Structure 1
């Protein structure tokens, strides 16, 4: 292997996480910081409401029931609500039932048999089997087992609220969590839209970095773009999960029937975005070698920048729910410029890049609402997009 292909191979390996250098770590850490702040933003209100509910549950059990240490009221409220924005009434009820069942069985078991390793074994066996008999939910069984262990393992001297004190605390916390979920239902559309906007913005950022590398002839920038694409997969997976969760909610909630078409469309777009991201990573891999071997390519960089503009516009449209007319028009315009044979003088590597960009544009056009046939029809005749990478 010659020196330049070997260097390109090292850059690609570093970009996909094998022996990353300091430069690539900086790229990945900046990406992780952006995603981390998005997670904080998405979780702030759910955590705020769960924290308030836990404090209120502690107050209610302490003031109304007269319990001196209503620990399980706060625990049950937090466990049921958690930090997740997609709070489903059935899921919260399942968690609350599991907590109260586990605490109740633990109370009875501790009164009858005391505490110790044998008792831990016995109460977990009893609570888990009872939960499996009562409900098929995994969360129900898990919480029943965990809470029964906690109750039996904690010293009885810590609690002076009677035989069912901890159980009644758990019941208060679970009931309050259900009330919060019912009174403060989440927006099943807004969060998937916001996550989709973030994912497509990351894809646009990745292609913007690639365009700078193609324009300047810097393979390091192309490798940076590949690292960005690899680091964005977690956000994409989270978006797919959020859309799936929203689809489950609108299917069982008659009040959200009007949102079913929107959620179905977001599901279609998230699938296409995953395909586009994979194709974009293939483009970046090939670009590292193409730049190493054949130098800069300003004309291809122009086309990549146009795709970047279109994806930023599409991201904004997804986030707001507006028609992606500007994104579609921009993609249609650039699709007519993606003719591999026009780059024959630059070498077969650059022609391959253009062919791969055609596939990416087809995916992007489909995200604007076109069918695959309509999207393919925007490409110049005589050329066809390659299979999805």
Structure 2
């Protein structure tokens, strides 16, 4: 083959446009690249448009929130009442088993007569001071024998705080099903709960939304909640002040007045022995003590029954006060939270649904 025949073919293959092969091959590559590009764009998921919740739906949500609050309050009240019933039972039991036998015993009366004599001597015979000091002594004994042991087992202050926690727990469980019920996105429902007040105290800044109360963990770390519990506990007539209730103070004072009058004549035996000799005196004193003990036992049952009736009546009144007082009773925390929550939803004109007692597992509607 001659050089003239080879050179044209070599020059044609060295043309830059022919480096990728034939024109058909290049077109095929472009089609493949374009298809891959379009396929990638088609496979990218599109973001759904934001869900717009109508005002009518929000009114239904508020209606159910108010209904959930009512149901949670009912559950908390049930817990508080059951706990207060147990508290009262323990008070009655220790009063019968500890205080009444001590108070009505013969030797306690002897000891009280000595204290009355000492109170009179130190108060220059003034009866009012003697009665007050004797009443304070009886109150101290009742605290040590009855109230303090019961408080170590169950206490109205603790019942108040646990009732508040019960309300929050029950409300949280009921609110969890509301977003699914009405198709409300979780983030929008959370924002809605942040607008509902739950704690609103007098000092500025002592407030918390319903969302904050439900999400606080632990609950006592929430400043507004800690302030609410402290305000109720430290109130002058709060649940923690039941040991100094007016009813108990009145009973101890009435009892001390009666004792002061009865024991005023208890020195008759010592006066009688002063006229006897040194030998006859102790003999007469022992005989007088034996006779006094026998006479004392005859009226012991009546004295116990009278005091028991007075104490039971005082604690019945105290029980009602602790259950009903909306500011300082065992339901004070629940009433504050539920009042804030339900009060902010009063613009809902529809009647709230009455929930049935909460089952262990709430079926989704």
TM-score interval, normalised by the smaller of the two chains: under 0.3
The structure that is helix-richer by fraction is 1
Give the structure, 1 or 2, with the largest relative contact order (CA under 8 Å, sep 6 or more).
2
Query: Normalising by the residue count of structure 1, what TM-score does the alignment of the two structures yield?
Result: 0.22
Instruction: Give the structure with higher Rg (CA).
Output: 2
TM-score (normalised: structure 2): 0.23
